[in-house]
Structure 1
Amino acid sequence: MDIFQWIEDLSDELNEAGQYRLVELINRIPHELHDNHPERVEAMLPEALAAARALQHPWLEVFFRHWGLQNRMRNLAEGEKALPEAVSLLEFAHRDQTQQCPQSVCVTQDIAICYGNVDGPGWVPERLAVSEETLARIEPSRACYDCISREYALALMDDGRAEEAIGYLQTQEQNMRRDGAEPGVAYRETQAAALFRAGRYDEALAGLASIDADDMLDDDDGDRLSRQTFRALILARQGRIDEAWEALPEYGPLIVPLLYPRWSEAVALIAQARPEHNHWRLGRLLMSMAAHMDQGGAHRRCIELALRHGELALLRNAPWSARRALELARRHQPKLRADLGAAAQIDAFAARIDALAGAEFALPMPADQVYSHVRGNEGSDPEQDMELLQAAYAERRDDGALAGLLASAMLACGAREEALAHLWDFVGRHPESDEAPPSQLLEQLLDGDDASVQVERLAALVQPQRAPFAHWCRAQLAFRHARWREVGEHVQRLLEIAPESFGARRLWARAAMEANDFAQAVELYADLAERSEQPGSDDWDLMTAASAAGDWAAVRRSAARLGMELTGSEGPVRETWGWLRVRYERDGESYDCLARRTGPVTAQVMTVAPPGRTQHVRDEIVFDAAPLEAAPEDEAERERWLAPFRVVHIAHRADYRCWFVDGAHPGEAPFEALREAVETLDWSLWVRSGDDYRVRDPASGEDEALPGVYFFLATPPQLAPAEVDRRLHELTAGFEHPLSWPQLAEQAGADVARHEAVIEAYGL
């Protein structure tokens, strides 16, 4: 069975059953994965799996678990960490009720990828065997043939058989084309990778360029970023350093761990040739990449990244960083399935560190002056300051300020574990300290996997000498874990001892807002506002809480304190204050909508989302008053800029439904009449086409002869599709050219053939 046809048929069945959200997840999870958004996939996957299991649909469970693994092993490059799930899914996908699922073939690819991530060269025989066995039972026309062939070729490359991989990929491509299939973008990039491994750099570059030129349908943001990174690496290998630096994509969230090996090798070659790029920030970044591989159990990649970082550290005279890299590499060497020269490489690097190590470091100034010296140096380099700070701290182990500065330097260099050990040592000896180390330690512990245990350990340690800080630790932990009621309990205990702790009151108020306990939040923010000497942020936060609570009297009082004039003197605030952007967060993704401001911190959403997506049009929302982005510096940009604000509460959810309408533009006057009529009906119309959109003229048969328009039409939830269809026919009856809305017609039980004819005639 063709996997794409199965997904299409399944989506149709689920839509008919009203499972619109599940269809959205089926489409979005692979899409977000390929666009390098692993955090969004992770956010959506639990809901998707729960829905598949609730429907008792094992094929769908295979589908979602496969894409979850692909996210972990493709984007996140997990190795041994993902292996238990890969083995479990392989067993699940070959049970009686799942073995006929088209996605079950893909699960064998998951095993091959996982072996490659754990230790690619060490697992070559197994990777070749599982790929060969799978290829023997699928036709070249199937998409899986492309995927599994790639895995076989990658195993050959990891075995040092690049020329054989080139020939193999050519043969497999011929098989695909013979059966009417086309190699995809990833396949062609793998062909370029084989050429690269064989040292045929110009041919590899030409292969990447041909993918760009062909504008392939399956090309996506992740593929393009991968090629961009690969191109930079090839140029760097050729010694074309300036071109490589220009081609290398800037590091950011879309540089997922899958890209770390090529990106890091490219930047390392550039930094070796251009020392100005070899700095402590690059060192921190490369060490964080190696640490990710460490956590994911990608043993050989961890070693390679650690040594790459270490070599650059030696070049910039940072032996402390080089030694940390060596320790990490040594820890993973015994975990390799086959050594293949790794131990010798690590030993050679260790010898270089030993050879470059100088005499014992001597402080160039009195230890009590080091803190002021480092803090006063605007161009301070934490990596270069490390030995200075360590030597000074060895003499002044009770100096809290110096201990905090040393911890900051360690954290700046990405040495979190070392910083934690250092901070625990200091706080353990000085639990009464109110200097930086206890707060630094709390901040780090809150981000850890075992935060509950470790934060409680810290709180218990400081409780006898600093009870308020102990309660603060527990309140912060409760907030981090969304235990909103507990936040208030701990803050109340803190306030009994330290009643002037404004920060604690604000944390409690924020927790009340998160818990939708708006009345409590109003009370807390009102108290803070009264304690403030001048009106300010507490008044704005009070208005947010009060707007969510419907306490309009409190809104008006704070507005008056801030010098804002509101219409009327009582009742709900209803202003007309222009446009702004409001930002929602869902599935690990942030997205903005345009809205009309109706008060200091209230608005009505005007953007219509596409059919099938979460709809917010006509929602009445409350937003946080602090803009999420700073205004642009350029004056011209600032004039067009709308500040985005975070949505904190939906006061009224409209739940409108959306329909897609397309066709020839009726002209400005008829279209404006349609827009006005739609508004009168309390519907919303949102044009999505641009001025350059053109459609075919049926009279002449010429393509792109007529101006076109397509838009989203949102209607109230209580309005039946048949009524929407009827009214839309009435509103567009006078148009010279008919519009089409096939999805609405189908839902309304109307004549879909009429809309299909319009689509055909106008080339929509």
Structure 2
Amino acid sequence: MDIWKWSLDVDKELIHQGNYRLAHLMRMLPHHTVEENHSQVDAMVPEALALARAIKNPWIEVFIRHWNLQSRAVHRYEVTDMLPEAVNLLEFAHREETRDCPQSVCVVQDIDICYGLADGPGYVEERLAVAKETLDKIDTSWACFTCISGEYASALLDGKRYEEALSFLEQQTQALLLANKHNKRFSIRDAWVETLINLQRYEEAYAFNQESYSHNGGGESSQIEKDLDKARISAYLGRYDDAKPALPEFEKIIKSLQHCLHWAEATRLLVDAGIISNDWHLNAKFQQMSDQLSHNGVIREAFTMILWQAELALKRGHPNTATRCCDRAQALIPRLRQPLDAPQLLEEMRADIAKAQQRRENEPSWSDKRGLLTTLEEPYQVLEQLGDDPEINLDSLEEARKRWPESEELVIFTAEAYEKLAESQYGLEILSEFLETYPDSPGAVSQYGLLLFNHGQREALQNFASAQLKRNLSEQVHYSCHILLASQSEKDGEFELAKPHLYALLETEPDDITARKKLAKMERQTGNLEAALQHLDLLVEMSEKTGNYDWDRMVVATLLEEWDKVRHSAERVGFEDIPTEGSIEQEMGLCRIQFREADGESVTYYAMRTGPVTARIVEIASPSHSQHYDDTVVFEPVKLNEPKEGDEEASPDNQYPLYASIQETKTGGYTSYILDGVHPGNENWLGLKNALKGLGCECQVQSGKRYQLHLDDDSEPLLGVYAYIAVPENQALQEVADLLATTTQNYAHPLIWPDMVEKRGDKEELERQRGIEQEYGL
């Protein structure tokens, strides 16, 4: 069963039915998934599901939900959230109305992967059974033959049945060879490479991986995995000059958790070889990966990652870091389906830590360091001794906190050190304990709230700050809490909840510029323009320098038609020759304005800038988009591009500044229609445009010299013209159609305007124009 042929047939059928958006979404979901563009997938799935359900097509629903699982579970490892969805989809995909859908078999892979991610070794037998049941029903003609084969081999590897995995892969590869699909063996590249690595057949693994580079497919995700395997295998072979350049940047890895374990494995090997520094920065990376894995329910990999992190900590002489790793690993064991060897591995690591602690206690340098701390008389002296390495600093800070438990500075610096190591949970713990004893500590309150804010603990932050405001604490503590609550509400887009806290800040500190700036922005976004302008007036008055306050003020003042204030700020930022009274309406040069359509798509049109923050749209939109021709808009005066005016090599669209539209202040009132056909010659075309202008219409050509038409295969090419006509909404459409018919009737070749004819309901004329469309291939 060719799944991709089925999806292509569905695409054609949807287009034929007029379901263009759903067809587009079905094409793009797999693309964005394999290219690691997961934010686009998240944006598309709800819309695609709604459209599939609207046309009552459960097969398409299976397709969409499968690719959502591929993005969220397979690539991003969101097992906790997606395992219930995988189970639900498996049931849905095997109902009477969906079991024959080609994509239904792939759902077996989704559930197999979810179990493998949750605890691969703990679910070995279940995964083998599910995969075998499916493999018994399909053959090499199915695209999912290699996918399910890969999952079966992966389960064998998790069961440490390496030789059995090799035999199975050889069997499946032979089947592909007999089916004349030998290159499809690269679709199970991951399993092949992993099997050969586990058998320590590194040269074979390297050769197979290198050969796979010449077989494209899988997008960005596949490329990252191949590079990681090159780095891993090269490191095992001792070819470090090849290994390090092949290792992808960490920023790529952390975006898609599926690559984390292999990146960590390659990194460990390079650390052991002295190629990569084993420092606190590396510890923070391992911490980030293990935290996200455990949060997402990928428990076995998180456990392995944490033990590797502990091992690296011991190698750089930090048993305290290793101890914290073991505590986190201990908490994961109950979440494994089967503990297997996890308790033993943890026990062995704790034994290694105990030995390292004993060795450190016997080191003179450690004794000297402790002795130095006892000679210091004040906490600030400890802070003066700190260096740039937070892991080293923690040893001193934790010892100092035992001596000065009441020191707010020490607890804040300790929490910051944990944060740098990506171990924020420890920072939160010590701050919470400190505030229980010393609640009237504004610095600690701010630091605790900031950690909650930065790590998305919204409810905890709101509960904490709100509780502090109800207590009889200092004005400084309440000030900090208002800042925290305002920031959280702003982040959530709940501006009405944020505003009271910002006003409370201004009551305490009227010159708080940050609070006033935020209030001006929020009052504007919630439609309270007068209040926003009052804040901006004060900000301009408080600031001798010109800048953003003036631009924001011009936006709001323009919307309110407070032209004197627009003039005042315009002159402050350098505009000259501004009219001294009334509204500002000048021609200040071309720009481009970006609009956001109802479906979220961005569209851009040329405009004439008419004021500091206003423009009139001069480009006609296509009939399929909202029409903005001759609209006057207020725009956000921040350039969305870097215009290259006068640069002949720059694209035409990038020769003018681009701004985002805020609001239309005057609607042009036009509707656009298509005009299509053979170009009638410059003289006739100019006459037609002038005739249309007589009715208040505008006509703009969209095509260029490459638009060539043919009456038949042997005829000479004819220059075509494809244009938009903007018709005023108060202009009778019949009159425009009659003008077009009269003006073009003697042209050598006809022009057509079918959407205008269709809107008028003239079926006979529409049929005639459709015939011309077919004849000329328009």
TM-score by length of 1: 0.79
After superposition, the Cα gap between the structure-2 partners of 1:271 and 1:174, relative to the gap in structure 1 and judged at 3 Å, is same
Residue among 498, 501, 506 paired with 1:487: 498
Cα drift, residue 621 of structure 1: 6.7
Query: After superposition, what is the alpha-carbon deviation per residue over 1:673-731, rounded to whole angstroms, capped at 9, x for unaligned?
Result: 9xx99999564759999xxxxxxxx999xxxxx9xx999988869999x99xx99xx9x
Distance 1:500 1:10, change over 3 A: same
Aligned to 1:457: 464
**Structure 1 pair 29–407 and aligned structure 2 pair: CA distance change class (3 A):** same
The one of 554, 557, 560 aligned to 1:543 = 554
Contact 2:34 2:220 (C-alpha < 8 Å) held by counterparts = yes
Offset, 1:301: 0.4
Q: 1 CA distance for matches of 2:534 and 2:279?
A: 50
1:31 aligns with 2:13: no
CA distance 1:428–1:568, change in 2 (3 Å):
farther
Percentage identity across aligned positions?
29
Distance 1:124 1:60 in 2: 31
Whether the 8 Å CA contact 2:634–2:661 is kept in 1: the answer is yes
Contact 1:608–1:713 (Cα < 8 Å) also in 2? no
Code of the aligned partner of 1:67: W
Q: Give the secondary structure class of the aligned counterpart of 2:251.
A: coil
Q: Which has the larger radius of gyration?
A: 2
What is the aligned-residue RMSD (CA, Å)?
A: 5.2
**1:361-760, aligned counterparts within 5 Å?**
362=370, 364-365=372-373, 366=376, 367-374=379-386, 377=387, 380-435=388-443, 437-448=444-455, 450-463=457-470, 464-465=472-473, 466=475, 467-515=478-526, 517-546=528-557, 553-565=564-576, 568-569=579-580, 570-572=582-584, 575-576=587-588, 598=609, 600-601=612-613, 624-625=636-637, 647=660, 649=662, 651=664, 683=700, 685=702
The alpha-carbon deviation at position 244 of structure 1 amounts to 1.0
Is the 1:543–1:555 Cα contact (8 Å) retained in structure 2?
Answer: yes
Q: Secondary structure at the match of 1:346?
A: helix
Deviations along 1:498-546, one digit per CA (max 9) or x if unpaired, are: 4333322222223234445555433432332223343332222323444
Change (3 A) 1:132 1:619: farther
Matched, 1:171 2:171: no
Match of 1:241 in 2: 240
Partner of 1:98: 98
The answer to whether the 8 Å contact 2:673/2:725 transfers is: yes
- Structure 1's unaligned 5+ residue stretches are 690-697, 701-705, 736-742, 760-764
128-137 or 394-403, which moves further after superposition? 394-403
Structure 2 SS opposite 1:177: coil
- The aligned amino acid for 2:446 is S
- Give yes or no for contact 2:79–2:297 (8 Å, CA) kept in 1: yes
Distance 1:343 1:288, change over 3 A: same
Aligned partners of 1:607 and 1:686 also within 8 Å = no
- Closer, same or farther in 2 for the Cα pair 1:624/1:417, shift >3 Å? farther
**Kept in 1: contact 2:506–2:512 (CA 8 A):** yes
User: C-alpha distance in 2, partners of 1:608/1:213?
Assistant: 46
AA aligned opposite 2:101 = C
Contact kept, 8 Å, 2:116 with 2:127, in 1: the verdict is yes
Quick one: distance in 1 between partners of 2:15 and 2:279?
Answer: 54
Structure 1 contact 231–247 (Cα < 8 Å) conserved = yes
Instruction: Please state if 1:121 is matched with 2:121.
Output: yes
SS of the aligned residue for 2:141 comes to coil
- Of stretches 603-612 and 148-157 in structure 1, the one that deviates more from structure 2 is 603-612
Q: Is the 8 A contact 2:49 2:61 kept in 1?
A: yes
Structure 1 equivalent of residue 762 of structure 2 = none
Q: Give the superposition deviation at 1:490.
A: 3.2
> Is the CA contact (8 Å cut-off) linking 1:592 and 1:644 kept in structure 2?
no
Alignment partners' CA distance in 2, 1:618 and 1:198: 71
Q: Kindly tell me: are residues 120 and 477 of structure 1, through their superposed partners in 2, closer, same or farther at Cα, counting changes over 3 Å?
A: same
Alpha carbons of structure 1 residues 22 and 603: separation in structure 2 relative to 1, 3 Å: farther
Using a 3 Å threshold, how does the CA distance of structure 1 residues 28 and 433 change in structure 2: closer, same or farther?
same
Alignment pair present for 1:206 and 2:200: no
Aligned amino acid, residue 454 of structure 1: L
Secondary structure of 2:213's partner?
Answer: helix
Quick one: structure 1 residues 225 and 276, their matched pair in 2 at CA, closer, same or farther if it must change by over 3 Å? closer
Answer whether contact 1:150 1:187 (CA < 8 A) is retained.
yes
Q: Which amino acid aligns with 1:557?
A: H
Shift of 1:627: 6.6
Deviation at 1:226, TM superposition (A): 2.0
Distance in 1 separating the partners of 2:311 and 2:601: 39
Cα deviations across residues 45-91 of structure 1 (Å, max 9, x unaligned)? 33333444455443333232222221121111233443222112212
Q: Which digits, 9 at most, give the CA deviation of each residue in 1:343-400, with x for residues without a partner?
A: 22222222111111122871634243122333xx5xx011221111222233333333
2:441 alignment partner, SS class: coil
Does the CA contact (< 8 Å) of 1:627 and 1:644 recur in 2? yes
Alignment of 1:215-294 (within 5 A): 215=216, 218-253=217-252, 255-274=255-274, 277-294=277-294
| Counterpart-to-counterpart distance in 2, 1:231 and 1:188 | 12
Change (3 A) 1:682 1:338: farther
Residues 51/124 of structure 1: CA separation in 2 closer, same or farther (3 Å cut): same
Contact 2:592 2:606 in 1 (8 A): yes
Structure 2 alignment gaps of length 5 or more: 707-711, 750-754, 760-765
Letter aligned with residue 328 of structure 1 = R
2:334 corresponds to 1:326: no
Q: 2:381, 2:629 → 1: CA distance?
A: 61
Partner of 2:763: none
TM-score normalised by structure 2 residue count: 0.77
Amino acid at match of 1:334: P
Give, as a single letter, the amino acid of the residue that structure 2 aligns with 1:123.
Y
Aligned to 2:299: 299
User: Per-residue deviation at 1:305?
Assistant: 1.1
What is the deviation of 1:143?
1.8
Distance 2:705 2:335 in 1: 54
SS in 2 for 1:277: coil
Higher relative contact order (CA 8 A, sep 6+): 1
SS in 2 for 1:649: strand
2: CA distance, partners of 1:615 / 1:175: 59
SS in 1 for 2:63: helix
Q: CA deviation at 1:238?
A: 1.4
CA distance 1:566–1:60, change in 2 (3 Å):
farther
Q: What is the CA distance between 1:318 and its match in structure 2? A: 2.7
Residue of structure 2 equivalent to 1:348: 348
Name the CA distance, whole Å, in 1 between partners of 2:657 and 2:252: 21
Q: Is the 8 A contact 1:189 1:207 kept in 2?
A: no
Which is worse superposed, 269-278 or 70-79? 269-278
Deviation at 1:480, TM superposition (A): 2.2
Tell me by how many angstroms 1:411 deviates.
0.7
When residues 613 and 395 of structure 1 are mapped into structure 2, their CA distance, relative to the original with a 3 A threshold, is: farther
1:621-658 alpha-carbon deviations (Å, 9 max, x no partner): 766556789999xxxx9999999988473548999999
Partners of 1:434 and 1:529 in 2: CA distance: 31
CA contact (8 A) 1:580 1:642 kept: no
User: For the structure 1 residues 716 and 353, does the alpha-carbon distance in structure 2 shift closer, same or farther, using more than 3 Å as the test?
Assistant: farther
